[in-house]
Structure 1
């Protein structure tokens, strides 16, 4: 439905864009998109932290350090302490001009560095220009503050006539700012080092939401400090005392006591300040959870999965080597990840062996990879929980120790400090303890801001482990007692609950399905079995597709997603054209339209899976079906190989993108292996793209989720099929409908291209279905 007047301009613009993009990339290595995905998935964790986590930390804590620098500049560093008094209630002494000037220069350097980092993240300033400015700016700002802090503890800073001198909260804010500037500068040095040594791109590959985290941090701090400035005038407080009040108010701690609004104006404005602060804080916490945590979890789990897979691959290689030397004990090396004997025996078998059918061998290989993923996921969850618990405990007890030292004038015991720290971290805020010293209030602000990401991470990790376990136990108890269930008797409920607790939900559902089917005297392929939990790994024939399409049409179109509705319309159109081609006796056109219809139907389902709250993991039967659509047969050994330990050699997947050698990702050999499921033309020699479920080219070893990976490949296959109906000439002849274009091609050429894409023609599907029914028993 293109406008005729736009075809030419759009085509020319597209060519110009391609030419400009090619000019920009001519000095870079040509890499495949799938290779980029794999490199992102397999890149070592330390380089992921350097490329993503370090810039995010710098962008988050940079504005915090700037806010502390402002606090260090706007008030005097020294106070006069009367005899018998304390610095907490001292009298301000004006700072020398040189201290104010150096302090202002430090703040200016830090602001320029932070602005440079923000513009670099927004891709407004090149990496090579922005990063030196960022690193040097933060480092100079830190050095200047460290110099002032050092001078403040010498005789140069003493009061005249030997009067007692004390240090105000501005001095302690300068300490926190200097420390943060130093840390940020070193973090960005690590980022620059990794970029210039080729471990990742020199440009930040951050999403819009990740860049927004820095803006949300700035918004939160600006909101706090502007209101603190207003309340310092309304309530007559010192500015730093107002910052302390704004901090415990917006974080809903509510220490109370000394600093509370007492004027009608202050109490009236509190409604707006508190509401706005809670909203911005909620956005900030949400960003930390969805961006830092979710992405970090994926990366850590990916690395743990890759390490576990490498251990299994190397042990398989050792077991194969020992088969001749110790034939009775070759599988001792495979006592890993609790793999059973059958899976371990299947892993050492060559593809096409007579000892086991190829599909069965691949099924066990798939289960081994699933076991690796399960073990890696469990280890990641509990490892993350341990780290977050340690971080919370460290923040808790170190905070208590600092308060114990800072509040010595109040004679707090260490237990009282632990109690105060705990009630503060959990935002209980009884108000029976309150820091009064300059050091205590400044540390309180810094400490509570650190608690935001720490508690967010802890709560999230507890949700994946402890809270999830309690939730599952609660649901299990309900299922076997009073909650509605598909099981009719208490005994059946207990059996189902025991299976679910021991083997998991999937196994329990499968056995439940088998039991229901046995009671009804039907096979699990029947309609009743499908309503419970049908294994969808069947090569569906025309009748099955028609039946499914008819059932889908009965759904209310108002409840469909717009994309799903569009796919349904296209599927219906392809079905009509399939019927038309069948009536004309054009077998090739019928096959083409049937393939596209089947692809569209599966794209709808996979699209729904990709939008689910938790990404779906497909069963082996489902993968068999989808891989058949992509052009391969799981029962044909010519497409398969054992996992190759040589692919896991050091340097083969270092993440640099420039590794060399016969097994490197950019070598011709590795590129041939990579073409396994993505080749849309006639299939080349199968030996050039053999792959394994436990290999690095496995669809399960990918940065994308399984539905996203499948959706991308199904779209590619659909696009390749649509390209076949376009005329092969210069494009002057418009494409014909209802298979007319296909009739003009030689039938032999049509059949070869179609069967190469499908590997299974519709006429053979009924036979395939019967064979699979017999195999599945």
Structure 2
């Protein structure tokens, strides 16, 4: 059977996972690969769970403080609403238990933060954190249960009501219970050896936690100040500070009426808005940095596996998507053409997986935002029954609040509605931030591209005219004959693969990199190579030239490492870099090309084991662009992958020059000045 060009990738899908561990030099790479392939749930347990706990823990502490600073009951004289009732002093046992609950919660939160700062070990901090939050939740639940009974209320029932402090206690109890369970999940995953028993939070993750703590402290301190200035109750001032700093501005009965209060609003509001902006920036950075990367990795691996499983050996096709099939039946291909074909398929897989990730993330974040809207409106419908709010009115109020429109025509007045609004509006900050970020990657980008395209037709036609623009737009809309099978046509083999190669219309990589190499030759650093050439020692000349090219390319690739979006290299550029690393793309012995064995029962390729390890570098000798060892897979960007390999290669070359073995020092390099 003729090799169709993807036999290697077909068999590599599970081989690398099943193979035995490499030597010590490969252990770190194996660990990084496993981190890339690990299911997302364990990433969630190792990073997202403690991060959520560390972020919502201070919020729960703030709500516990709100539950402690005000009495839980008020009496209602004739014609007085619960928002203006007369306080009834709490019994001493309620204050004591409430205080103990807050102390347990603060100790638990401090233990978690110290553990994240690596001041307290995982084995000591986690039991303290989990037990402390569970005890806090249990004590608050017990108090809420007693306060809800007839024992706590003074008859007649209609003459008394529970205050905002009672409802803050409910919210705090639920938060403590949830974040303690999250930490239990984290501990279970650590003791099952899915990740180390320590937290490796990034700078943005730590920053988000600190900014959340700072924002909650800022909100409570501002509320305390305005309690004294405006004569409000502290929890009413918390409600005011919340809708002020979140720029909802629903107003109602709570607006500064003194000159001092209005004067202090200038610095207080702008300071809170700046802090809120920092929190939003950290959330967005966190989503883009870690969450987005991990989700993209999972989508990439699943897409790769599904594509390899869709190989039809009879028709010689691979299904990239529901309507996308790629033909790989090309007879008489050279090794370079076969590898370029694999590379092109992998690029298709990357694009398809990234597109799926974007729209799936948008769907999930949209669902979360809709749930926040609809469920929030449902709660407001019940909490604001004294105002006769219908569900539609609650939807209207929730919508204007979420979008920070804040007309102020409807405002919560009940003792249950105000605390819930504070919690609900704070929860909306990360929810809407993630939604807007995902919309920027999908809907906003599509609308922007469409607007530019429409503009090119009407106001600013492109250089090729309106007809060419229409054809280009039609091609983009149909994704290049989206509903038809597409082939990868490679008519000519790539030439010499130095950076700067240009692609002709037929897809072949033709060498035009003389300007790139000329730049190298013009440098003074090539003096030693030129002297060796003058002495008639071409190997010594090529070795010095090779070292200079490695160093020069290191500096060039460094510029690509932090590129946004991440740099994606063409096949000719990859071929050039791999040639520098001693992995010539034209050398079939370095690539996977085993025979196909078909499992007839499943009509899928049989998967075996990998072969061959380079004795010097520890890298697998044979790999496929479509396999788990592909440079296009893994948790590194392409520029980072190349940078690390170039650095290691240059280091080995420098050590080789110091070798006492003359034969080792005189080994020919993978590139030569004669290539020019």
Q: State the TM bucket, normalised to the shorter chain.
A: 0.7 to 0.9
Q: Does 1:605 align with 2:556?
A: yes
Once the two structures are TM-superposed, the CA of residue 378 in structure 1 deviates from its matched residue by: 1.1
C-alpha distance after superposition, 1:13-34 (max 9, x if no partner) = xxxxxxxxxxxxxxxx996222
Q: 1 CA distance for matches of 2:25 and 2:171?
A: 46
Q: 2:646 aligns with which of 697, 710, 714?
A: 714
Q: Are the structure 2 counterparts of residues 334 and 713 from structure 1 closer, same or farther at C-alpha, using a change threshold of 3 Å? A: same
Q: 2:540 aligns with which of 589, 593, 612?
A: 589
Contact persistence 1:66–1:107 (CA under 8 A): yes
Q: 1:241 aligns with which of 228, 236, 240?
A: 236
Q: Are the structure 2 counterparts of residues 153 and 492 from structure 1 closer, same or farther at C-alpha, using a change threshold of 3 Å? A: closer
Contact persistence 2:502–2:512 (CA under 8 A): no
Q: 1:15 matched to which residue of 2? A: none
Q: How does 1:729-744 map to 2 (within 5 A)?
A: none
Greater displacement, 42-51 / 292-301: 292-301
Q: Name the SS of the counterpart of 1:92 in structure 2.
A: strand
Q: Does 1:278 align with 2:273?
A: yes
Q: How does 1:422-571 map to 2 (within 5 A)?
A: 422-483=399-460, 485=462, 487-499=463-475, 502-503=478-479, 543-549=514-520
Q: 2 CA distance for matches of 1:436 and 1:643?
A: 73
Q: 1 CA distance for matches of 2:349 and 2:517?
A: 38
Q: 1:64 aligns with which of 59, 63, 69?
A: 59
Q: 2:177 matched to which residue of 1? A: 182
Once the two structures are TM-superposed, the CA of residue 416 in structure 1 deviates from its matched residue by: 1.3
Q: Does 1:689 align with 2:674?
A: no
Greater displacement, 574-583 / 227-236: 574-583
Once the two structures are TM-superposed, the CA of residue 627 in structure 1 deviates from its matched residue by: 1.0
Q: Does 1:42 align with 2:42?
A: no
Q: 2 CA distance for matches of 1:446 and 1:82?
A: 30
Q: 2:17 matched to which residue of 1? A: none
C-alpha distance after superposition, 1:137-177 (max 9, x if no partner) = 11110000000000001122122677832100000000000
Q: Are the structure 2 counterparts of residues 102 and 412 from structure 1 closer, same or farther at C-alpha, using a change threshold of 3 Å? A: same
Contact persistence 2:529–2:544 (CA under 8 A): yes
Once the two structures are TM-superposed, the CA of residue 711 in structure 1 deviates from its matched residue by: 1.2
Q: 1:251 aligns with which of 223, 246, 258?
A: 246
Q: Name the SS of the counterpart of 1:79 in structure 2.
A: strand
Q: Does 1:77 align with 2:64?
A: no
Q: Which has the higher contact order (CA 8 A, sep 6+)?
A: 2
Once the two structures are TM-superposed, the CA of residue 118 in structure 1 deviates from its matched residue by: 0.7
Q: 1 CA distance for matches of 2:415 and 2:624?
A: 64
Once the two structures are TM-superposed, the CA of residue 305 in structure 1 deviates from its matched residue by: 1.2
Q: 5+ unaligned residues in a row in structure 2: which ranges? A: 1-23, 481-494, 598-606
Contact persistence 1:574–1:596 (CA under 8 A): no
Q: 2 CA distance for matches of 1:368 and 1:234?
A: 68
Kindly report the root-mean-square deviation, in angstroms, between the aligned alpha carbons of the 2 structures: 3.2
Q: 2 CA distance for matches of 1:639 and 1:496?
A: 40
Q: Does 1:103 align with 2:98?
A: yes
Q: Name the SS of the counterpart of 1:200 in structure 2.
A: coil
The structure with the largest helix share of the pair is 1
Q: Are the structure 2 counterparts of residues 273 and 341 from structure 1 closer, same or farther at C-alpha, using a change threshold of 3 Å? A: closer
Q: 1 CA distance for matches of 2:398 and 2:530?
A: 73
Once the two structures are TM-superposed, the CA of residue 539 in structure 1 deviates from its matched residue by: 6.7
Q: 2 CA distance for matches of 1:295 and 1:709?
A: 18
Once the two structures are TM-superposed, the CA of residue 337 in structure 1 deviates from its matched residue by: 5.7
C-alpha distance after superposition, 1:667-722 (max 9, x if no partner) = xx76x76x57xx756x99xxx63111111111111101111111111111122222
Contact persistence 1:537–1:625 (CA under 8 A): no
Q: 2 CA distance for matches of 1:528 and 1:101?
A: 75
Query: How many residues get paired?
Result: 630
Q: 5+ unaligned residues in a row in structure 1: which ranges? A: 1-28, 321-328, 347-353, 505-522, 554-571, 647-661, 664-668, 729-744, 767-777
Q: 1:628 aligns with which of 573, 579, 583?
A: 579
Once the two structures are TM-superposed, the CA of residue 491 in structure 1 deviates from its matched residue by: 3.7
Greater displacement, 304-313 / 595-604: 595-604
Q: 2:142 matched to which residue of 1? A: 147
Q: 2 CA distance for matches of 1:312 and 1:528?
A: 32
Q: Does 1:578 align with 2:543?
A: no
C-alpha distance after superposition, 1:55-91 (max 9, x if no partner) = 1111110000000000000000011122454322211
Q: 1 CA distance for matches of 2:528 and 2:476?
A: 46
Q: 1:115 aligns with which of 105, 110, 116?
A: 110
Q: Name the SS of the counterpart of 2:151 in structure 1.
A: helix
Contact persistence 2:316–2:327 (CA under 8 A): no
Q: Name the SS of the counterpart of 1:32 in structure 2.
A: helix
Q: 1:262 matched to which residue of 2? A: 257
Once the two structures are TM-superposed, the CA of residue 375 in structure 1 deviates from its matched residue by: 1.5
Q: Are the structure 2 counterparts of residues 65 and 621 from structure 1 closer, same or farther at C-alpha, using a change threshold of 3 Å? A: same
Q: Name the SS of the counterpart of 1:698 in structure 2.
A: coil
Contact persistence 1:588–1:750 (CA under 8 A): no
Q: Are the structure 2 counterparts of residues 533 and 312 from structure 1 closer, same or farther at C-alpha, using a change threshold of 3 Å? A: closer
Q: 1:369 matched to which residue of 2? A: 346
Q: Name the SS of the counterpart of 2:333 in structure 1.
A: coil
Q: Are the structure 2 counterparts of residues 283 and 592 from structure 1 closer, same or farther at C-alpha, using a change threshold of 3 Å? A: same
Q: 2 CA distance for matches of 1:494 and 1:384?
A: 31
Q: 1:342 matched to which residue of 2? A: 327
Q: 2 CA distance for matches of 1:394 and 1:60?
A: 21
Q: 1:308 matched to which residue of 2? A: 303
* TM-score, with length taken from structure 2: 0.86
Q: 1 CA distance for matches of 2:385 and 2:420?
A: 14
Q: 2 CA distance for matches of 1:640 and 1:528?
A: 25
Q: 1 CA distance for matches of 2:209 and 2:505?
A: 46
Q: 1 CA distance for matches of 2:128 and 2:26?
A: 31
Contact persistence 1:392–1:455 (CA under 8 A): yes
C-alpha distance after superposition, 1:474-493 (max 9, x if no partner) = 222334454485x2544444
Q: Are the structure 2 counterparts of residues 587 and 529 from structure 1 closer, same or farther at C-alpha, using a change threshold of 3 Å? A: closer
Q: Name the SS of the counterpart of 1:638 in structure 2.
A: helix
Q: 2 CA distance for matches of 1:60 and 1:708?
A: 31
Q: 2 CA distance for matches of 1:533 and 1:113?
A: 64
Q: 2:383 matched to which residue of 1? A: 406
Contact persistence 2:239–2:422 (CA under 8 A): yes
